[in-house]
Protein backbone atom coordinates (compact mmCIF):
# COMPACT_ATOMS: atom_id res chain seq x y z
CA UNK A 1 0.00 0.00 0.00
CA UNK A 2 2.82 2.40 0.85
CA UNK A 3 4.55 1.67 -2.46
CA UNK A 4 1.41 2.49 -4.42
CA UNK A 5 1.00 5.82 -2.64
CA UNK A 6 4.68 6.64 -3.13
CA UNK A 7 4.55 5.94 -6.88
CA UNK A 8 1.30 7.87 -7.27
CA UNK A 9 2.65 10.83 -5.32
CA UNK A 10 5.91 10.77 -7.32
CA UNK A 11 4.01 10.83 -10.63
CA UNK A 12 1.89 13.71 -9.37
CA UNK A 13 4.93 15.71 -8.26
CA UNK A 14 6.63 15.14 -11.63
CA UNK A 15 3.51 16.42 -13.42
CA UNK A 16 3.40 19.51 -11.21
CA UNK A 17 7.14 20.10 -11.63
CA UNK A 18 6.89 20.06 -15.42
CA UNK A 19 3.94 22.44 -15.27
CA UNK A 20 5.61 24.79 -12.78
CA UNK A 21 8.95 24.84 -14.59
CA UNK A 22 7.24 27.00 -17.23
CA UNK A 23 5.68 29.39 -14.70
CA UNK A 24 8.52 29.38 -12.11
CA UNK A 25 5.99 29.90 -9.31
CA UNK A 26 5.02 27.74 -6.39
CA UNK A 27 1.94 29.02 -4.61
CA UNK A 28 -1.33 27.73 -3.13
CA UNK A 29 -2.73 26.92 -6.57
CA UNK A 30 0.26 24.64 -7.19
CA UNK A 31 -0.60 22.66 -4.06
CA UNK A 32 -4.19 22.36 -5.26
CA UNK A 33 -2.89 21.24 -8.65
CA UNK A 34 -0.70 18.64 -6.93
CA UNK A 35 -3.68 17.25 -5.00
CA UNK A 36 -5.75 17.19 -8.21
CA UNK A 37 -3.01 15.32 -10.09
CA UNK A 38 -2.65 12.86 -7.20
CA UNK A 39 -6.36 12.06 -7.31
CA UNK A 40 -6.26 11.84 -11.12
CA UNK A 41 -3.34 9.39 -11.12
CA UNK A 42 -4.95 7.30 -8.37
CA UNK A 43 -8.30 7.06 -10.17
CA UNK A 44 -6.67 6.29 -13.53
CA UNK A 45 -4.54 3.58 -11.90
CA UNK A 46 -7.62 1.93 -10.44
CA UNK A 47 -9.47 2.12 -13.75
CA UNK A 48 -6.53 0.64 -15.67
CA UNK A 49 -6.29 -2.17 -13.12
CA UNK A 50 -9.99 -2.96 -13.42
CA UNK A 51 -9.86 -2.80 -17.22
CA UNK A 52 -6.85 -5.09 -17.48
CA UNK A 53 -8.40 -7.53 -14.99
CA UNK A 54 -11.61 -7.68 -17.04
CA UNK A 55 -9.69 -8.25 -20.27
CA UNK A 56 -7.56 -10.95 -18.63
CA UNK A 57 -10.68 -12.64 -17.26
CA UNK A 58 -12.35 -12.62 -20.68
CA UNK A 59 -9.21 -14.02 -22.31
CA UNK A 60 -8.97 -16.88 -19.85
CA UNK A 61 -12.68 -17.60 -20.09
CA UNK A 62 -12.83 -17.63 -23.89
CA UNK A 63 -9.44 -19.20 -24.68
CA UNK A 64 -9.74 -22.42 -22.71
CA UNK A 65 -8.47 -24.36 -25.71
CA UNK A 66 -5.06 -22.75 -25.33
CA UNK A 67 -4.87 -23.36 -21.61
CA UNK A 68 -6.11 -26.97 -21.69
CA UNK A 69 -3.52 -28.14 -24.22
CA UNK A 70 -0.37 -26.38 -23.09
CA UNK A 71 0.59 -25.03 -19.71
CA UNK A 72 3.23 -22.83 -21.31
CA UNK A 73 0.56 -20.85 -23.15
CA UNK A 74 -1.16 -20.10 -19.86
CA UNK A 75 2.01 -18.73 -18.31
CA UNK A 76 2.76 -16.67 -21.41
CA UNK A 77 -0.77 -15.27 -21.40
CA UNK A 78 -0.49 -14.29 -17.75
CA UNK A 79 2.84 -12.55 -18.36
CA UNK A 80 1.60 -10.77 -21.48
CA UNK A 81 -1.56 -9.43 -19.83
CA UNK A 82 0.42 -8.20 -16.83
CA UNK A 83 2.97 -6.49 -19.06
CA UNK A 84 0.18 -5.04 -21.24
CA UNK A 85 -1.42 -3.36 -18.21
CA UNK A 86 1.98 -1.90 -17.26
CA UNK A 87 2.52 -0.57 -20.80
CA UNK A 88 -1.01 0.87 -20.84
CA UNK A 89 -0.43 2.70 -17.55
CA UNK A 90 2.92 4.14 -18.64
CA UNK A 91 1.59 5.18 -22.04
CA UNK A 92 -1.18 7.38 -20.62
Instruction: Tell me if the pTM is above 0.85.
Output: no
What is the per-residue pLDDT across 61-82, written as a single tens digit (0 to 9) for each?
887 766 666 667 777 878 888 8
pLDDT band at 29 (very low <50, low <70, confident <90, very high): confident
CA distance 38 to 32: 10
Highest mean pLDDT among 1-5, 14-18, 19-23, 34-38: 34-38
Q: Measure the CA–CA gap between 76 and 87, rounded to whole angstroms.
A: 16
Query: How many CA atoms lie within 13 Å of 43's alpha carbon, on the beta-carbon side?
Result: 6
Amino acid sequence: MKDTIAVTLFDSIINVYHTLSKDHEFNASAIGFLVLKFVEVAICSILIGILSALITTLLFKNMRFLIAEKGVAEVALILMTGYASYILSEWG
